[in-house]
Amino acid sequence: MKKTHRIDTIPPYLFAQIDKKKAEAQAKGIDIINLGIGDPDTPTPDFVIEAMAKAIRDPRTHDYPPYEGIPEFRKAVAEWYQDRFNVSLDPQSEVLSLIGSKEGIAHAFLTFLDPGDIAILPDPGYPAYKVNTLIAGGVPYVVPVNEENNYEIDFDKIDPAILPKANVLFINYPGNPTGAVASDEFFERTIHFGKKHNILICMDNAYSEVYFDGKPPRSILEFKGAKDIAIEFHTLSKTFNMTGWRLGMAVGNAEAIQALGKIKTNMDSGVFKAIQWAGVEAFKHYKPFIAAQNDLYQVRRDILMKGLREQGWTTPNPKATFYVWAKVPKGYASEQFTMDMLDRAGILVVPGNGYGQYGEGYFRMSITTPNHRLEEAVKRLKEHNIRFDV
């Protein structure tokens, strides 16, 4: 059986490997505290479930959905963007439903990259960016983002020679895995860079509603000129604990949204209508639900950060996302440290090098775990003398 060359370019998916390690440890009888994958542990809210139950009983939801999404869902997205970000969107031309934002991101590379075209990507960054660049036949050009530059891309460090072949720039704020929130000045520089070099800006904004200290992150579309050159991917997965439901949206530049929709029309058949109706209901109740969720996550963040500081880490509090991005102790590589933590303390975390070469030397912890398990994780760090300053 002949396989395509692109199969050989794709590394194993990071979280599939983590699941395998977890299963191996559990087979040995180890009680695993899973601080790995960022999957909300609290249920989808009742108002979403009830809307879904009502819609699924309606036979009018059982046929093929419109490829671009039902009008009611696209209208709800536009109204939410207006209320949340003060961004005006045309539901007809500037909003597209997605089968989760990951699907839309994957199709974006097929839409905007011809073989040999370059995608400028942050490193460390969500692994799907690089993998889907390769699947599309594109060339990943990674730009390091680090603590020293607030995990923002330094556009002056990008090789000018690659710019004529660069078609796409992906950014992700609040950032996975770093938890970084971009400054207003960065968004303005990004828009200027995209316009100057005619490079489409793709903003992954999946974590905009998971934030702390009452400071909501911004959308790039809030900034002047953004809709001329940018689109944004969003999802209900993290916002409403709907990771398994697979519902998201792409919004922004109308020409780019229509092009993405053309690829999707030929690749999938859209989102089940009943799920979209549930999404419509979700947006009606977002303020109280998100406030309560973020209160919960902030307590958890503080439990974990207090424990890390007691063990010698000086990691700053993340401003958003449900991730903590921290350095491994001296003498360790990322994967070595994460395996040591699993073997010694039964705590599963993600090695930073899984997010790219510049993630080496770090690890990521997720707080999508009940408070008492986070407290147990802190206790185990102390019991097994797992410290940063050893």
The pLDDT tens digits of the residues spanning 288-333 come to 999 999 999 999 999 999 999 999 999 999 999 999 999 999 999 9
User: CB under 8 Å to 89, separation ≥6 — which residues?
Assistant: 77, 78, 81, 82, 95, 221, 251, 252
Question: Is 21's pLDDT higher than 80?
Answer: no
Question: Is 13's pLDDT higher than 70?
Answer: no
Q: Which of 302, 332, 333 is nearest to 316 (CA)?
A: 302
Check residue 24 and give its pLDDT: 81
Question: Lowest mean pLDDT: which of 7-21, 42-56, 170-184, 237-251?
Answer: 7-21
Tokens of 235: 């999802």
CA distance 215 to 236: 20
CA distance 318 to 219: 18
Question: Is 15's pLDDT higher than 70?
Answer: no
CA distance 213 to 215: 6
Vertex 364 angle, CA 358 and 370, to 5°: 170
Check residue 23 and give its pLDDT: 82
Question: Lowest mean pLDDT: which of 20-34, 150-164, 169-183, 199-213?
Answer: 20-34
Check residue 191 and give its pLDDT: 98
Check residue 9 and give its pLDDT: 76
Q: Which strands form 350-351's sheet, in the order they lie side by side?
A: 323-327, 362-366, 350-351
CA distance 229 to 219: 14
CA distance 293 to 373: 18
pLDDT digits (tens, 9 = 90+) for 139-180: 999 999 999 999 999 999 999 999 999 999 999 999 999 999
pLDDT digits (tens, 9 = 90+) for 111-140: 999 999 999 999 999 999 999 999 999 999
DSSP 270-337: ---HHHHHHHHHHHHTHHHHHHHHHHHHHHHHHHHHHHHHHTT--PPPPSBSSEEEEEPPTT--HHHH
Torsion of CA 317, 319, 321, 323, to 10 degrees: -10
Check residue 390 and give its pLDDT: 60
CA distance 371 to 235: 25
User: For residue 187, what pLDDT band results from cuts at 50, 70 and 90?
Assistant: very high
> So where are the chain's domains?
5-44+288-383, 46-285
User: Rounded mean pLDDT of the chain?
Assistant: 95
User: In the chain, which ranges are continuous DSSP H helix?
Assistant: 5-9, 14-27, 46-56, 71-85, 101-112, 127-135, 184-197, 254-267, 273-284, 286-310, 334-345, 371-383
Question: Is 368's pLDDT higher than 90?
Answer: yes
Check residue 348 and give its pLDDT: 95
More confident residue, 371 or 3: 371
Sign of CA dihedral 41, 46, 52, 57: positive
What's the rounded mean pLDDT across residues 275-294?
A: 97
Q: 46-285 is classed in which CATH architecture?
A: 3-Layer(aba) Sandwich (3.40)
Check residue 229 and give its pLDDT: 98
Check residue 35 and give its pLDDT: 96
Check residue 374 and give its pLDDT: 98
Q: What percent of the chain has pLDDT over 90?
A: 91
What's the rounded mean pLDDT across residues 6-16?
A: 72
Select the CATH number that applies to the domain covering 5-44+288-383 from these four: 3.20.20.120, 3.90.1150.10, 3.40.50.1110, 3.40.50.620.
3.90.1150.10
pLDDT digits (tens, 9 = 90+) for 239-265: 999 999 999 999 999 999 999 999 999
Check residue 14 and give its pLDDT: 66
pLDDT digits (tens, 9 = 90+) for 80-104: 999 999 999 999 999 999 999 999 9
Check residue 10 and give its pLDDT: 75
Task: Quote the pTM value.
Answer: 0.95
CA distances from 389 to 308, 327, 381, 382 (A): 11, 11, 13, 13
